[in-house]
Structure 1
Amino acid sequence: MDIDWAALGQVFGVSLVMTVGLVCVFTFGIVGTRTDHGTGDGGAGLLGRVGAYASFALCAAAVAYGIYIIAA
């Protein structure tokens, strides 16, 4: 039995980068939903909330793509 160490290392590296990236995007989404930004104006809060929803949509798309890859 031969193990392709280069392919194993590549899978490990991509998995690590994608996991850390997805956690960071989700964290940005959580921070964007906070209501006490301290700005006092509604525009900046709205922009943060829209960015948060975009972050959550990106996380959902990544999860859906992962399920698609597993099922294919």
Structure 2
Amino acid sequence: MSIDWAALGSVFGVSLAVTVALVGLFTLGIVGLSKQGTATATAGGSASLARTGAYACFALCAAAVAYGIFLIVA
């Protein structure tokens, strides 16, 4: 029995990078929604921009998860 350490390392690296990216995107979405309340008090245009950015981050997270499920099922 032989372990392909290079393949294992590449899988680990890609998994780590994708996990950090997804957590970062989700965090940006949460921050965008939290800034929506403070942006409403200061300027109306910033609130809609913050909400739109947050929804875009959440949509990218959902797309990445859906793609991962697609890869597992296919």
**1:30 aligned residue:** 30
Q: Deviations over 1:37-71 (max 9, x none)?
A: 47611101110110000000000000000000000
> Could you list the runs of 5+ residues in structure 2 that have no partner in the other structure?
none
Q: Distance in 2 between matches of 1:39 and 1:63?
A: 34
Instruction: Point out the structure with the larger helix share.
Output: 2
| TM-score of the aligned structures, taking structure 2 as reference length | 0.91
For residues 49 and 40 of structure 1, what CA distance do their matches in structure 2 show?
15
Write out aligned runs for 1:1-72 (5 A).
Answer: 1-34=1-34, 35-37=37-39, 40-72=42-74
Give the AA of the match of 1:58.
L
Q: Secondary structure at the match of 2:42?
A: coil
- Sequence identity (%): 64
Deviating above 6 A after TM superposition, structure 1's stretches of 4 or more consecutive aligned residues are none
Q: Summarize deviations over 1:9-53 as a string: whole Å, max 9, x none.
A: 000000001001100000000010121247611101110110000
RMSD: 1.3
